[in-house]
Each structure stands twice: as C-alpha cells, then as structure tokens.
Amino acid sequence: MTRDDTPAGVDSRTVATSRLETHLLESSEAASDDTVVFLHGNVSSSRFFDHVLADVPDEYRAIAPDLRGYGDSETKPVDATNGVGDFVADLRALLATLEVDEPITLVGWSLGGGVAMQYALENPGDVDALVLVNPVSPYGFGGTTDLEGTPCFDDYAGSGGGIGDDEFVAALADRDRSEGGEATPRKVLRTFYVAPSHGFDETREESYLTGMLDTATGDENYPGAATESENWPGIAPGETGVNNAISPKYFDVSSITEIDPDEKPHVLWLRGDADQIVSNESLFDLGTLGRMGQVPGWPGEDVFPPQPMVDQTRAVLEAYEDRGGTVEEGVFANVGHSPHVEVPGDFVARLESVLE
C-alpha cells in the first residue's frame, strides 16, 4: 500500500521483509548513505513524521516505518513477553531488506523511544546517535515507584493492557472521526498529543487522526490482554499487546548504561515541558489518576505513587554519561508530547545539530 498525500520530497511504499509487510515513508533523494530512522509512538504512525522527513537535509536518507499493527503496515500479534522485541526485530529485518548502511541515527518518539533504546542495546555499534523524543521511561509505563524502577506490586498490577480506556479503544476500532465526547480519538489528539497552546490546520489534523485510527485494536495489539490481580486496581499485564510490551513486567532498558563506552551512541533527549502523557504526573498513569480521585480504591502515595517517568529517564541517562556516554537534554517550553508536530522548525534544528 502507498499513500498519495505525502509532502513533496517524501515517497510512500510497502516493503516485504522476512517478518512483515512494512509500510514506510522515505525521503525521495539522498546525497549519501547516511540514514536517519524515525520511529513513531503508540496509537500513531509515520504520518506524524512526514513533514519532518521533508525538512531533513538532502544529504541524509530519512526513513519512517509504520510499526506492526500501525499505519499501513501488516498487522501481526505483539509478543509482550519479549518487551518491544517484536518491533526491534521488525526494524532489523526492514533495514536489512533496504540494505541500509550502518551506523544509523535513530529518532524514537514515546513508544518509539523505547524501541530505539532496545535496538541500541541489541545492536551495539550499529547506532551512532539516539534522539529520544518524550520517550517512554527506561522502566516502562506504569506501576513503578522510584528512580530505580521498583515495582509497586510483584505482579506489576496497574500497568499493561488492562489500563487502557475502553471507550477510547472502541472509538479507534469504529474509526470514529467525531468531535464529541472526552474519549474520542480527535479529542485525545487535540488534548493530549499537543499542549493546549498548539493546534493543527485542518489538513494536518485529519492526517494525524487517520494515523491514530490506523491502529489495530484487541488483545494481541492495542492495548493488549490483561489478567486479574489481587492488587489494586485488580488488573495486571497479560502476555500480548503493545501496552504489555511496555509494562515494566517485560520492558526494562536501563542496562543501556552498560553498553561499551566505545559503542555508546550519542544521546539527545528532547521533550516538551507541558507533556501530559510521559511526565512525572502523567494523566495516563493510574498513580496520578488515583491521587486525583479518578480511580476508586487508590492505596495511597506510599504504595502506588505517580510514576516519576521523567526523573527515571534522567537518572538512567546520568548513569549512561557517568559510564562513558554523551548526553544532551533539550526542553521545549509550552510544548506537549509531540515537539516534531508542535515546533517542527526547532525540532529539525536540534536534529541537524546531531547529524552534523
């Protein structure tokens, strides 16, 4: 499948790899074999990067694939017991099929940031720079208490596929493009993907909304399966699906600090200071919602506090630097979860500083 609504200078095509029919966007021409790969976040697709690809300097080959179960790529189950391993293996197969020269620069947004870190862990020396854009914590999403990623409960209750909003998932499955309701994809896009001060022109909003709606839903994809738990809030991660793949039960990339200093990629950590999705008080984290009284029976701050996502990332990256790596942090003021959408010019400028 190809798209006919890509910006000038960006092509769309689907590639058959050893693992997956993978759809990707790519820059039309490049003056060198230096490659930048953009990995999108949860409930999104390569559409969120299409204008960035158009602005990447011509000397670089820019690629943005749709992960399995997203966009126009093939839908296959996600084995959460391997963390984000399915996404990493899919990417490895795609780069081999495209005969991409390594090392590469990996740009990972949110979920894609977790995939990028895992890829660097599994393929040391093949990544020369990691650009992490509002990335998921190195200790996953939900259910941990401190800077070391200590779980709130032994079964990681309060994280994984069971914490998804059923109304939102149903709206995705119905491809709901309406403007009403608090849990419609359009409302979530406008409210949480960007800061309140940033909106979209009509064309871009419709494209991003399509990118959200092109998400495979169910126990094997988004949000994933759940199991019953004796611990609050009564649900724990299942073994399949995206949200389980980033549950701390299965996902932990904090050992990125242990990559050999000679193979450690340079890290540029970019984030919006108004992010409501990945933050120390995420509005998608049950610890935050429990403290706000939005989830009944919250056991309290000492048992299930809001996950300190940003502080966890900073602690791991400080250890990464202490052990021979190089790290830069860039914070965009009054920007939410999607700096590449909200302030694309500033975002590309920071990216170019790494490429150069």
CATH number of domain containing 310: 3.40.50.1820
Contacts with 82 (C-beta within 8 Å, 6 or more apart), sequence order: 245, 250
pLDDT digits (tens, 9 = 90+) for 258-289: 999 999 999 999 999 999 999 999 999 999 99
**197: confidence class by pLDDT, cuts 50, 70, 90:** confident
Interval 101-113 mean pLDDT: 97
Residue 235 within any structural domain of the chain: no
**Per-residue model confidence (pLDDT) at position 203:** 86
- Whether 133 shows a pLDDT value over 90: the answer reads yes
Residue 61 within any structural domain of the chain: yes
**Per-residue model confidence (pLDDT) at position 31:** 65
Residue 136 within any structural domain of the chain: yes
Residue 200 within any structural domain of the chain: no
CB 244 within 8 A of CB 225: yes
The mean pLDDT value of the chain amounts to 96
Q: What is the 3-state secondary structure (H, E, C) of 171-211?
A: HHHCCCCCCCCCCCHHHHHHHHHCCCCCCCCHHHHHHHHHH
Q: Strand, helix or coil at 21?
A: strand
Residue 316 within any structural domain of the chain: yes
Taking the whole predicted model, whether its pTM rises above 0.75 is answered as: yes
pLDDT digits (tens, 9 = 90+) for 46-83: 999 999 999 999 899 999 999 999 999 999 999 999 99
**Per-residue model confidence (pLDDT) at position 1:** 65
Residue 1 within any structural domain of the chain: no
CB 238 within 8 A of CB 160: yes
CB 27 within 8 A of CB 53: yes
Residue 77 within any structural domain of the chain: yes
Contacts with 84 (C-beta within 8 Å, 6 or more apart), sequence order: 111, 114, 115, 118, 245, 246, 251
Q: Is the peptide bond before 223 cis (omega within 30 degrees of 0)?
A: yes
Q: What is the 3-state secondary structure (H, E, C) of 200-244?
A: CCHHHHHHHHHHHHCECEECCCEECCEEECCCCCCEEECCECHHH
Q: What percent of the chain has pLDDT over 70?
A: 99
Closest CA to 109 of 139, 92, 130, 95: 130
Strand pairing class (21-27; 61-65): antiparallel
- Whether 28 shows a pLDDT value over 80: the answer reads no
Contacts with 343 (C-beta within 8 Å, 6 or more apart), sequence order: 332, 335
- Whether 97 shows a pLDDT value over 70: the answer reads yes
Q: How far is CA 355 from the centre of its chain?
A: 21
Residue 17 within any structural domain of the chain: yes
**Per-residue model confidence (pLDDT) at position 181:** 86
Closest CA to 136 of 295, 288, 252: 252
pLDDT digits (tens, 9 = 90+) for 277-327: 999 999 999 999 999 999 999 999 999 999 999 999 999 999 999 999 999
pLDDT digits (tens, 9 = 90+) for 163-188: 989 999 999 999 999 998 889 999 99
CA atoms within 13 A on the CB side of 193: 25
> Number of structural domains, the chain?
1
Please give the torsion angle defined by the CA atoms of residues 244, 246, 247 and 252, in that order, rounded to the nearest 10 degrees: 140
CA atoms within 13 A on the CB side of 22: 28
How far apart, in whole angstroms, are the C-alpha atoms of residue 234 and residue 116?
A: 32
Closest CA to 338 of 286, 275, 295: 275
Quick one: tokens of 59?
């000397």
Which residues constitute the domain of residue 117? 10-148+251-355
Quick one: tokens of 69?
């179960």
